[in-house]
Amino acid sequence: MLTGILVQDTAGTESIEAVSPDLVDDQARCLLEDMPVHAMKVGPLYTTESVSVLAQITADYSHVPLVVQLQRIPNVSLEDEFDAEETQAALLELVLPQTDLVVADHALLLQWQSHGLLPGTSLEQAVASVLEFGASALLVSGVPSGGSQRFYFYRDENGQTSQFAAQATETVLGTDSLMATAIAAELARGSEVPVAVDYGLACINAMNGRSFQPGMGAKIFNRSHR
């Protein structure tokens, strides 16, 4: 579902135009009522009204696996415009209880802890809190591992925990979004969440050699077929 229109380049985001809640609802239900949908992936949500709409959609289609990608508003100056903390709190309360997998950046979880949205100061406390909100599983990206190294941390509601080394040492724009999309695609094929996570990480690792820097900012993936 398209939830916002961004004016951005590889260096940053200048502005965001949030899609109206009615249009978010129409997009989803138009497809859900037309064809079999076997998984849903949702990216950033910018208003509490959109969060409420998503919560109702996922409640109506609770049998469809849901992947929610959490990420910070990319420009700090835009946070007040969208009342980011209120929207994030609504997301935690209304959507996470219906979510099969949350994908979140480590820096976002630390930010939420510093703002009081999540308790504690450690990764373990943040992960436990997200799962307590009702999410079935959480995959955290960008966890520091000394120097420039990063890893992925996974935990589910049953206590199953895994760590995966991140092969790339440089940030590629849209990595978490592509990974979450690949995971949702694998869930749609009927795989269980741990298997889908393995698939998503394998897709990202395979794409690492296909990134390039087209401008003055971050690298992006070359998604063209050859």
Sign for the pseudo-dihedral over CA of 10, 225, 166, 85? positive
Reduced to 3 states (helix: H, G, I; strand: E, B; else coil), residue 104 is: strand
- Separation CA 142–CA 165 (nearest Å): 10
Global pTM reads: 0.92
* pLDDT digits 0-9 by tens, 85-125: 889 899 999 999 999 999 999 999 999 999 899 999 999 99
State the Cα–Cα distance between residues 218 and 210, nearest whole angstrom.
14
Specify the DSSP element, H or E, that contains 18.
strand 12-18
Give 219's DSSP letter. B
Among 29-38, 80-89, 127-136, 137-146, the range scoring the smallest mean pLDDT is: 80-89
- What was the pLDDT predicted at 109? 94
Domains of the chain (ranges, CATH numbers): 4-221 (3.40.1190.20)
pLDDT (tens digit per residue) in 142-170: 999 877 788 999 999 999 999 998 876 56
